[in-house]
Amino acid sequence: MNTQEFLDYAEDRCREHGTRLTTIRRQVLEHIVEQPGYSKAYDVLEALRPETASLTPPTIYRALEFLEAEGLVHRLEVVNGYVACQQHDHTHETLFIICPCCGKVAEARGDTYAAFFKGILVDNGFGAVPQHLEVKAYCNECQATGATCVHENMAPHRHHHGHDH
C-alpha cells in the first residue's frame, strides 16, 4: 500500500469510527508512513515544523496517541518510536523486529512465532504471549556491512537527530 492509499484507508477508518483525521493528524501519519524505519516524536516535530511553525510537542503526542488508538500506528516501546501499521487485522499477536542500528522495522504475525514465545513464557513461569511483542536484532545489512553501531553496541538510528525523548 503506497502512502496515498494508506492515507485514504486512514480517512475511511476514522470515518467508520466517527472520528476525524485532522490536518495535523494526517501530516503526522504521512511522515511516519513515508519513513523506512521508525520515527520518534521529535523527529516528526522537526520534520513538520517548517510547514507549521506553531507545532508543539504536546500537539504531536496527541496526534500520535490518536493514530495509535485508531490502529494506524504502533508505539514501539523498546525504541520509544512509532511505525505505521502494515497489517490492519489486529486479531493476532504481532511481532516487531527492530534493528537498533539502521532503524528498520519488520511487522510479523503467525502462529509459529506465537507458539514459540508461548513455550518460552510458560517454561519460565509467565502468562500468555502479549498482543504486541518487540525484539531488537541487527538486520542482515547492518551485520554484513559491519556497521559501526554493531561493533560499538550503539544505536545511532539514521532518523534520530540526537533526541532521546
Sign of CA dihedral 15, 109, 151, 165: positive
More confident residue, 108 or 141: 141
Q: Are 13 and 72 in contact (CB under 8 A)?
A: yes
Map grid coordinates 494526517 to a residue. 26
Fold of the 3-84 domain? Arc Repressor Mutant, subunit A (1.10.10)
Q: What is the pLDDT of residues 100-126, one digit of tens each?
A: 888 899 888 777 777 788 888 889 998
Within 10 angstroms of residue 161's Cβ, the number of other Cβ atoms is 11
- Average pLDDT of the chain, as a whole number: 83
The superfamily CATH assigns to domain 94-152 is: Ferric-uptake regulator, C-terminal dimerisarion domain (3.30.1490.190)
- The confidence score (pLDDT) of residue 88 equals 67
Domain ranges in the chain are 3-84, 94-152
Rounded Cα gap, residues 26 and 160, in angstroms: 22
Map grid coordinates 505505521 to a residue. 84
Which grid cell sits at 20?
476525524
Instruction: Indicate the range of 49-53, 113-117, 140-144 predicted with least confidence.
Output: 113-117
Map grid coordinates 513461569 to a residue. 125
